[in-house]
Structures are given as structure tokens and as C-alpha cells.
Amino acid sequence: TTPLIIDTDPGVDDAFALALAAASPEVDLIGVTTVFGNVSPELTTRNALRVLALLGREDVPVAAGAARPLVHPQPHVSLAHGPDGLSGFADTLPEPTRGPDARDAVTLLKDLLEAAERPVTIAPIGPLTNIALLLAAHPGLRNRIERLVVMGGGVRGGNITAAAEFNLWSDPEAARRVLVAAEVPVTLVPLDLTRRCAVSTAWLAELAGSSAVGAKLVGLTPDYLAAYRKSLGWDGMALHDAVAVAEAIRPGVLQVRRHPVEVECSFGPGRGGLLVDERLRSADAGGIDIAVDTDVDGLRGFVLDRLRALGAG
């Protein structure tokens, strides 16, 4: 099994991503670190603890990380995840029987990387602040990281601004540090692909009918669904972060193309945008792997099968 750490800001789709990891025998979820993002850092940490309590995985340490971006303050934002980050339904999850780890996120990441028997896959599915801090503070641990599977960026436009996807926009300087310096292997799973893998309300109804855990997960989605209906006219929602975690679980399930990238860090209208340099295709041009395609129905089925098995045993 591959050791996996999820760096997250739950978040409705983050909750689905945590559940997918917990339901998958290919990976050993050895830690969860939290970051500001969809809601305040206090709430993302509390939500991570509650989701793991729902999943019966209170053995997984949760460490709180960055409360703000590296350099500039984050403009106030309330996206699509409701007042508490889980559509107002965080209270329906079990009360955790423990608090966060005494260590901060970077220290937990360091300790887990040092202790793991083999290089660790990290799935950052929120702003990239913790990962930038880790790489800056402990550059020697790079070779303990098998790969970063990052949910972020939009190749053809964003979701929080015309140019920028939410995770990159939330801390562009951190994203630049992680994606452009590319000191470790990176697979970037952008908005373009995660939107194509969106699931319908019928898919959610199947999950809700499968088990008490499935029903609780689907119970977290009303505000998030409402936001997709309002902004895009969808009868469904994107599972962004769960698509990245699916790739961490099953390397190669997403097809990739390697390109150098840039992250726009100026204060113009493009701030937080991802620039993919498609001019350079030779193997030695460097860059990161960008997920461009997958068997969309197969992926939806895979995630549904895994989540339906939760709590069934």
C-alpha cells in the first residue's frame, strides 16, 4: 500500500475525497493536514476531525496548518460550501472524541515523511500554503515525497475569477513555489477535468441509499449543489478533490501531458491564474504533469463503488 497524506480545507468535495481515501485499500491514509481555504482554519480543522469520525478513522492524525496565505492577505471569500464549509450540516456528523494533533501541519508532515518506510504520496486539495512551507523549511525531505497530486488551476479559465481557480487564487505565491519550482514530481488535476467528472443528483441518491455513512455524506451537499445550479445551471456537482485523490489511489487513472507552467502572482485581473506553456513538448522541457483526460463514466463508477462500501462492513 502507498502511504498517503491529504492536505485539505473541508469543504464538501474535500469530505468526499477523504472518504474515498478511507475506503481504498491501495492507500494507507497516514495523516491529514488542514489549511485555511473554503472556510476559516478553525472550521476546516474541525470539519476534518468530524469527517474522520464519521469514517471511523480517528486513528489518523489531523494537524492544523496555515491560517493565511504566505505573503498577502486573502480577500474575504465565501464560496459554495455554506457557512460552516459543509452546507450548514457539519453538526450532523459525529462529535470527534479527540482534538487536533499537538504538532502543526508542517511538523506532522515532516515527522510522517521521515518515519514512512517508503516515499509518501501527498494530495494537496486546498491552498498550497502548507506544502510551500514544508518544501522551504525541509528541502531535504523532497526525496521522501513520491508525488504531489494537486487539485488546482484552470487551463481555460477559473471559477473564483475569470482567470483563477480557487486553490491557486487563495495563495498564488505558495502555488508558484510548489508548481513552478517543481522540486518534486507533481500531477496537477485542473478544473477543466474535474468539471467533466461532475456527478448528478441521481448519482448522489444512489450513494445516499447505500449506507448511513453514504447518507451523511450526501447530507453535506445542499448548499454546494445550490451553488452549481445557480452559477452553471447544473443538476449535480463537481467532486474536484476526489478526482485528485482517485489519481493518488490509482496512479494513471488520469491521462496527463507534461508542460512547464507559471502562476500569475501580479495584482492584475489574472492573479492566481495558471499559465500552461504548451509550446514546449520535448521530454527535457521540464514542467509538471497536467491531467487532461480520463474515462469519465469509469471514474464516476469507481468513486461511487468505493463510497457505497463505506460503513457496509
Known catalytic residues are 240
**CA–CA separation, 126 and 151 (whole Å):** 7
Q: Which does 224 bind (CB under 5 to 8 A by kind): ligand BDR, Ca ion, none?
A: none
Q: CA dihedral in degrees (245, 249, 255, 261; nearest 10)?
A: 50
Stretch that binds ligand BDR, among 7-15, 40-48, 59-67, 247-255 (CB under 6 A): 7-15
Task: Please state the closest distance from residue 312 (CB atom) to Ca ion, in A.
Answer: 26
Q: Which is nearer to ligand BDR, 33 or 167 (CB)?
A: 167
Q: Which does 223 bind (CB under 5 to 8 A by kind): ligand BDR, Ca ion, none?
A: none
Count of residues in contact with ligand BDR, rule CB under 6 A: 15
* x/- letters, 220..259, toward ligand BDR (CB under 6 A): --------------------xx------------------
Among 47, 87, 159, 221, binds ligand BDR (CB under 6 A): 159
Please, what is the end-to-end C-alpha distance for the chain in angstroms?
Answer: 20
Q: Which does 289 bind (CB under 5 to 8 A by kind): ligand BDR, Ca ion, none?
A: none
171 with 129: CB under 8 angstroms?
yes
Geometric angle at alpha carbon 110, from 12 and 24, rounded to 5°: 45
Q: Which is nearer to Ca ion, 240 or 306 (CB)?
A: 240
Residue 25 CB-half CA count within 13 A: 1
Alpha helices (runs of H) in 116-185, residue ranges in sequence order: 129-137, 166-170, 172-179
CB-closest chain residue to ligand BDR: 166
Task: Please state the closest distance from residue 197 (CB atom) to ligand BDR, in A.
Answer: 12
**CA–CA separation, 157 and 132 (whole Å):** 24
Stretch that binds ligand BDR, among 8-16, 55-63, 93-101, 255-263 (CB under 6 A): 8-16
Task: Please state the closest distance from residue 111 (CB atom) to ligand BDR, in A.
Answer: 25
Tracing cell 478511507 back to the chain, one arrives at: 22
Among 34, 38, 87, 130, binds ligand BDR (CB under 6 A): 38
Task: Please state the closest distance from residue 60 (CB atom) to Ca ion, in A.
Answer: 17
25 with 35: CB under 8 angstroms?
no
Q: What is the CA radius of gyration of the chain?
A: 18
Task: Please state the closest distance from residue 63 (CB atom) to Ca ion, in A.
Answer: 17
Geometric angle at alpha carbon 80, from 77 and 82, rounded to 5°: 90
Q: Which is nearer to Ca ion, 7 or 101 (CB)?
A: 7
The DSSP string of 52-112 is HHHTT-TTS-EEE--SS-SSSPPPP---SS-TTSSTT-GGGSPPPSS---SS-HHHHHHHH
Q: Which is nearer to ligand BDR, 38 or 294 (CB)?
A: 38
Interacting residue ranges for ligand BDR, rule: CB under 6 A: 11, 13-14, 38, 79, 125-126, 151, 159, 165-167, 191, 240-241
